[in-house]
Chain A
Amino acid sequence: MTEFTRGGRPVAVDRLDRWVTFSTVGDAELVSLTGEIDLANAPEIGRAIVARIETADKVLIDLTTVSFLDSAGVRLLDALIGDLDALHKPTRLVVGRTGAARMTLQLCAFREDLLATDLDRAAAELES
């Protein structure tokens, strides 16, 4: 569909925010992922996250509304956590008790200390 343009340039429809949005909880950067994360969108989402959390000291990644997560998504999370660990930035992944994301992460044997089920509690853990 042709989009109305401003100043001669087409307004970019930001498709990425269908999968990833950013906010802050306390002094932690909150990365909220949602929908299906797979080979098709993981690299782009990864770039957006890296650009955003560069200056953050603590990072929360909320996966509770992720309905599908494949190995490309796992690769993305794995790389992010590796980088953050290396910089000694505390990180938590918030995942529901059940669901596609938890299944994939468990199958990949993610460290339990990284996983939380509740956003508020994870935020509180990072505060302390």
Chain B
Amino acid sequence: MTHELRPPWDEDPDDLYEHAPCGYLTTLPDGTIVRVNQTFLTWTGFTRGELVGHRRFRDLLTSGGQIYHETHYAPLLRMQDEVHELALDVVCSDGRQLPTLVNSTLSRDESKQPRAIRTMIFNATERRQYENELLHARQIAEASERRVRVLQQIVADLSAAPTEAEVAEAVVRAPESAFGAASSSVYLVDGERDLIYAVVSTDPTTGNWDDMPRSSDRAVARVAERGDLHVVNSVAEARSHFPDLVESMRRSGRNTVVLLPLTTGPTDEHSGVHTLGVLAFSFKGERKLTDGELRVVRLLGQQAGQALDRARLYDDVRRREDRAIVLAETTRALDEQHRLLPRARRVVERLLLKVTDWAEVRLQVGAAPIVESAGGPRPDDILLQQRIEKVTAAGEPIFADDGDQLDCSVLPLTARGLVLGTLALRMTPDRRGTAAERAFLTELADRAGLALENARLYEQERQIARTLQRSLLAGDLPSGDTRFALETHYQAATYDLEVGGDWFDAFLITKDKLAVVVGDVVGRGIEAATTMGQLRSAVRALASNEAGPARLIEGLDRFVERVESARMATVAYLEVDLSVGEVAYSCAGHLPPLLQAPAGSPEYLLQARSAAIGSRAGNRVRTEQRRRLPAGSRLLLYTDGLIERRTRPIDKGFELLAREFARRRDAPLQGLAAALADTMVGRDHPDDVCMLCLTLGTEERIERTIGADRMQIALLRADLRAWLVAHEVEPDCRDAVLLACSEAVANAIEHGYRDDPFGTIDVVATVTAEAVEVRVTDQGIWRGAVSDAARGRGLQLIRDSMDQVLFDRSDGTTVTMRRNRQETS
């Protein structure tokens, strides 16, 4: 009972040792356990016998603990004789690990040799857990912080992304860096086309990138429709909800897929949200997303949605601007072309440049439709034709739809309510489909329609003016009088410009008085053509046997007081008294006529000049000049288009014209004017050219020089025929001479000048009461006897049709032929 008297703190030392609230171990310096208390045995599940004398302390540690024992515990203890609060895990008998804190002291004998180690072991299970929790909390905080940083960066990127594509690029990188996703993709919703399409993916080898309708059963479309985040946690879950995901999840080893709608609208409720896209990301293996992470994911969806919305608006604004620029540029480009065809051409070229890869304008004007197309490849003609007919009939555009076999939009070109034609085009893929593009095309077609209608009207007016001008210029000129011959030429400006006001006329005032006139009306187009007609009639009305050129022009001065459009017209007017070969002329502001007498130099008729008709500032004293001209004289009246060239001073123009006119003094009258125009202005002339050439009297002897060109034989024949008629040569004789002469010239061209296209042939003919004699001379090479059967026939014809024929081949070839006039009688 004695022990009952002990106070509570008076403990039995053995019991204290065995049942202390900590483990005690006593080991030899090498660690072999020699003593252990019950507390330690209870904690670890070992029996005393298993440990004492059999195990070293270090044998009880985890492998990490054993290393720590080697590197820290033992050396520290050896140096300091004690260690404190070392965290070591003890492996229990059942393999469980017991977190502990260890204190040890090393006791030494008198000689300071290590004698034993006393070790006290505290159970640190609770404490380690607490530490782990702390560590875990810190890790979570760090991950969250990293996520926030990543998201902040992404939000910054989003706000700087001006286009949908760039927004998508920024969003698609987020899941990887923020949540460690394996891959992610962005889909956009196209409301116009009711489609969802993939724009970007970090791993294009996974998933299905086909466009899908918004009503599709595919997971992306469903989530877009619901507007709320959806997480698929396993393949099995996918199978029951979104079977379309199963295949790609399995193929790419994904277990978790997150589908995040990118939305705008109120953040707290799902009813008002508008889904602009979907971000899909997935993880390898299972990945549980925490509530915090899911909150962040939702936030990302809203941020990205807003960025998309902004980019869409911005895209819209920019597209609108683009379209406005294209429209303005196209309108301007069309204005540069006045004529219908070039304008139609320009429409398709502009479209090709900016909008389409193929375009065609088809206009139903005139007998055959005008068709201009550009780009390629051409769509199917039959389908296109069908659509064009439908559009033409309805007057409403038909736009290409997805899956459209033709893939071409056709729009009517209308003006003033009438369908003028159609505009067919195939859009480049990035511009297809949207309502805005359709509106743009409609406006483009409207503008093109109007521009083409204007061009058509212009063309029509031009055509009317041309027709009017032609009818006025093509009026019958007097002929059949052997005392004079006329040749005229008119050529319109090369470039497209409107009809000019140049004109000529010739008429007999009496049977012995011929009037010729060349004039130029100010202005162009239908008004100029009309004015020209009025002025021409006025000249005819005012001309009389008594009046003379000066009084006629005074009459025109009075005339323009009533017909204002004729004011400042210029006129060169000339009357010929055919009975005596005298001319009287007057020039009102017009270029001087050019005279070539049979002998001598060419001469400009510079007298009797005054100001343009109705001029208010110029000299309006109208005078006239009279002059007798020898038979065979030629006069040329012309308009300024013949001599005025921008690259040549007008003096040089006059000089050149005089020289060229003189050079052709022996050329046949027919074709003379055209040849002169060709030399003076060439093919490329900016102005109209109008010419009238007059030959006076009948030459006793006709001399002509022509080039070695078979086309010129007819021209020569015309002169020769007129000359023979003027000399009243009988028809049989005339026909024979014309035939023989033609054959002789043909022979020179085909034989003598076979290798010389620049050779010339001289023809001289004289007539007497008894006979007509013709001499044809070339400088070609004589090639011996004629073997060519055809030419042989020609030579035979000469011999048969003429009475005497003489060939002289001493210098070139001269054929002298004579035909008696009296043969028939």
Query: Closest approach, in angstroms, between the C-beta of B339 and any C-beta of chain A?
Result: 10
Query: Closest approach, in angstroms, between the C-beta of B793 and any C-beta of chain A?
Result: 5
User: Are B735 and A99 neighbours in the complex by a CB distance under 8 Å?
Assistant: yes
- Which stretch (A52-60, A67-75, A84-92, A117-125) binds chain B? A67-75
Chain A, Cβ-Cβ closest to B370: A7
In the complex, which residues 725-745 of chain B have their Cβ closer than 8 Å to any Cβ of chain A? 731-732, 735-736, 738-739, 742-743
User: Are A36 and B710 neighbours in the complex by a CB distance under 8 Å?
Assistant: no
Please, which residues of chain B bring their CB within 8 A of the CB of A23? none
Known interface pairs A2-B492, A7-B370. Does A38 touch B732 (Cβ–Cβ under 8 Å)? no
User: Are A5 and B790 neighbours in the complex by a CB distance under 8 Å?
Assistant: no
User: Are A8 and B732 neighbours in the complex by a CB distance under 8 Å?
Assistant: no
Please, which residues of chain A bring their CB within 8 A of the CB of B358? none
Q: Does B141 contact A (CB under 8 A)?
A: no
Known interface pairs A70-B742, A75-B793. Does A4 touch B463 (Cβ–Cβ under 8 Å)? yes
Q: Does B757 contact A (CB under 8 A)?
A: no
Residue interface bits A87-118, CB-to-B below 8 A is 1, else 0: 00000000000111001100110000000000
Kindly state the separation between the CA atoms of A72 and B735 in the bound complex, as whole angstroms: 16
B742 contact from A4, A38, A99, Cβ within 8 A: A38
User: Are A8 and B371 neighbours in the complex by a CB distance under 8 Å?
Assistant: yes
Q: Does B82 contact A (CB under 8 A)?
A: no
Q: Does B341 contact A (CB under 8 A)?
A: yes
Please, which residues of chain A bring their CB within 8 A of the CB of B369? 7
Q: Does A40 contact B (CB under 8 A)?
A: yes
Q: Does B711 contact A (CB under 8 A)?
A: yes
Chain A, Cβ-Cβ closest to B712: A40
Query: Closest approach, in angstroms, between the C-beta of A20 and any C-beta of chain B?
Result: 16
Kindly state the separation between the CA atoms of A61 and B736 in the bound complex, as whole angstroms: 23
Q: Does A50 contact B (CB under 8 A)?
A: no
Please, which residues of chain B bring their CB within 8 A of the CB of A75? 790, 793
Chain A, Cβ-Cβ closest to B749: A39
User: Are B713 and A71 neighbours in the complex by a CB distance under 8 Å?
Assistant: no
Kindly state the separation between the CA atoms of A70 and B341 in the bound complex, as whole angstroms: 44
B717 contact from A6, A36, A74, Cβ within 8 A: A36
Kindly state the separation between the CA atoms of A59 and B749 in the bound complex, as whole angstroms: 33
User: Are A40 and B714 neighbours in the complex by a CB distance under 8 Å?
Assistant: yes
Query: Closest approach, in angstroms, between the C-beta of B332 and any C-beta of chain A?
Result: 24
Kindly state the separation between the CA atoms of A69 and B801 in the bound complex, as whole angstroms: 13
User: Are B739 and A103 neighbours in the complex by a CB distance under 8 Å?
Assistant: yes
Chain A, Cβ-Cβ closest to B732: A103
Please, which residues of chain B bring their CB within 8 A of the CB of A39? 710, 713, 742, 746, 749-750
Q: Does B794 contact A (CB under 8 A)?
A: yes
Q: Does B41 contact A (CB under 8 A)?
A: no
User: Are A104 and B797 neighbours in the complex by a CB distance under 8 Å?
Assistant: yes
| Central interface residue in A8, A68, A71, A75, by most chain B CB within 10 Å | A71
Please, which residues of chain A bring their CB within 8 A of the CB of B717? 36, 38, 68
User: Are A40 and B710 neighbours in the complex by a CB distance under 8 Å?
Assistant: yes
User: Are B713 and A38 neighbours in the complex by a CB distance under 8 Å?
Assistant: yes
Q: How large is the interface on B (under 10, 10 to 19, 20 to 34, 35 or more residues)?
A: 35 or more
| Central interface residue in B369, B371, B713, by most chain A CB within 10 Å | B713
User: Are B367 and A6 neighbours in the complex by a CB distance under 8 Å?
Assistant: yes
Please, which residues of chain B bring their CB within 8 A of the CB of A104? 739, 797
Chain B, Cβ-Cβ closest to A69: B739
User: Are B735 and A100 neighbours in the complex by a CB distance under 8 Å?
Assistant: yes
Kindly state the separation between the CA atoms of A68 and B717 in the bound complex, as whole angstroms: 10
Please, which residues of chain B bring their CB within 8 A of the CB of A71? 743, 746, 790-791, 793-794, 797
Q: Does A12 contact B (CB under 8 A)?
A: no
User: Are B491 and A1 neighbours in the complex by a CB distance under 8 Å?
Assistant: yes
Kindly state the separation between the CA atoms of A100 and B717 in the bound complex, as whole angstroms: 13
User: Are A6 and B739 neighbours in the complex by a CB distance under 8 Å?
Assistant: no
Residue interface bits B793-813, CB-to-A below 8 A is 1, else 0: 110110011000000000000
Please, which residues of chain A bring their CB within 8 A of the CB of B490? 1
User: Are B710 and A7 neighbours in the complex by a CB distance under 8 Å?
Assistant: no
User: Are A107 and B368 neighbours in the complex by a CB distance under 8 Å?
Assistant: no
Query: Closest approach, in angstroms, between the C-beta of A46 and any C-beta of chain B?
Result: 13
| Central interface residue in B463, B710, B735, B750, by most chain A CB within 10 Å | B735
Kindly state the separation between the CA atoms of A15 and B616 in the bound complex, as whole angstroms: 48
User: Are A8 and B370 neighbours in the complex by a CB distance under 8 Å?
Assistant: yes
Please, which residues of chain A bring their CB within 8 A of the CB of B492? 1-2
User: Are B710 and A74 neighbours in the complex by a CB distance under 8 Å?
Assistant: no
User: Are A107 and B801 neighbours in the complex by a CB distance under 8 Å?
Assistant: yes
User: Are A107 and B797 neighbours in the complex by a CB distance under 8 Å?
Assistant: yes
Chain B, Cβ-Cβ closest to A99: B735
Kindly state the separation between the CA atoms of A5 and B342 in the bound complex, as whole angstroms: 11
In the complex, which residues 362-376 of chain B have their Cβ closer than 8 Å to any Cβ of chain A? 366-372
Q: Does B494 contact A (CB under 8 A)?
A: yes
Chain A, Cβ-Cβ closest to B791: A71
Q: Does B459 contact A (CB under 8 A)?
A: yes
Kindly state the separation between the CA atoms of A99 and B735 in the bound complex, as whole angstroms: 8
B794 contact from A1, A2, A40, A70, Cβ within 8 A: A70
User: Are B793 and A108 neighbours in the complex by a CB distance under 8 Å?
Assistant: yes
Please, which residues of chain B bring their CB within 8 A of the CB of A36? 714, 717
Please, which residues of chain A bring their CB within 8 A of the CB of B711? 40
In the complex, which residues 1-53 of chain A have their Cβ closer than 8 Å to any Cβ of chain B? 1-2, 4-8, 36, 38-40
B735 contact from A6, A74, A103, Cβ within 8 A: A103
Chain B, Cβ-Cβ closest to A103: B735
Please, which residues of chain B bring their CB within 8 A of the CB of A38? 710, 713-714, 717, 742, 746
Kindly state the separation between the CA atoms of A72 and B491 in the bound complex, as whole angstroms: 32
Please, which residues of chain B bring their CB within 8 A of the CB of A103? 732, 735-736, 739, 801
Chain B, Cβ-Cβ closest to A106: B800
Kindly state the separation between the CA atoms of A99 and B750 in the bound complex, as whole angstroms: 26
Kindly state the separation between the CA atoms of A4 and B710 in the bound complex, as whole angstroms: 30
Please, which residues of chain B bring their CB within 8 A of the CB of A1? 490-492
User: Are A40 and B713 neighbours in the complex by a CB distance under 8 Å?
Assistant: yes
Kindly state the separation between the CA atoms of A2 and B366 in the bound complex, as whole angstroms: 17
Residue interface bits B164-194, CB-to-A below 8 A is 1, else 0: 0000000000000000000000000000000
Please, which residues of chain A bring their CB within 8 A of the CB of B793? 71, 74-75, 108
Please, which residues of chain A bring their CB within 8 A of the CB of B746? 38-39, 70-72
User: Are B738 and A68 neighbours in the complex by a CB distance under 8 Å?
Assistant: yes
B366 contact from A6, A68, A74, Cβ within 8 A: A6
Please, which residues of chain A bring their CB within 8 A of the CB of B714? 36, 38, 40
Kindly state the separation between the CA atoms of A11 and B731 in the bound complex, as whole angstroms: 40
Residue interface bits B435-466, CB-to-A below 8 A is 1, else 0: 00000000000000000000000010001000
21 A-B pairs (CB sep. < 8 Å): A1-B492, A8-B341, A8-B370, A8-B372, A36-B717, A39-B742, A68-B717, A68-B739, A70-B739, A70-B743, A71-B793, A71-B797, A74-B793, A75-B790, A98-B732, A100-B738, A100-B739, A104-B739, A107-B801, A108-B793, A108-B796
Q: Which residues of B pack against A, CB within 8 Å? A: 341, 366-372, 459, 463, 490-492, 494, 496, 710-711, 713-714, 717, 731-732, 735-736, 738-739, 742-743, 746, 749-750, 790-791, 793-794, 796-797, 800-801
In the A-B complex, the 6 residue pairs with the smallest Cβ-Cβ separation, listed nearest first, are A71-B794, A40-B710, A39-B710, A6-B368, A107-B800, A100-B735
Known: A2-B496, A71-B746, A75-B790. 13 other contacts (CB 8 A): A1-B490, A1-B491, A6-B370, A39-B710, A39-B742, A68-B717, A68-B742, A70-B794, A71-B743, A71-B793, A72-B746, A100-B739, A103-B736
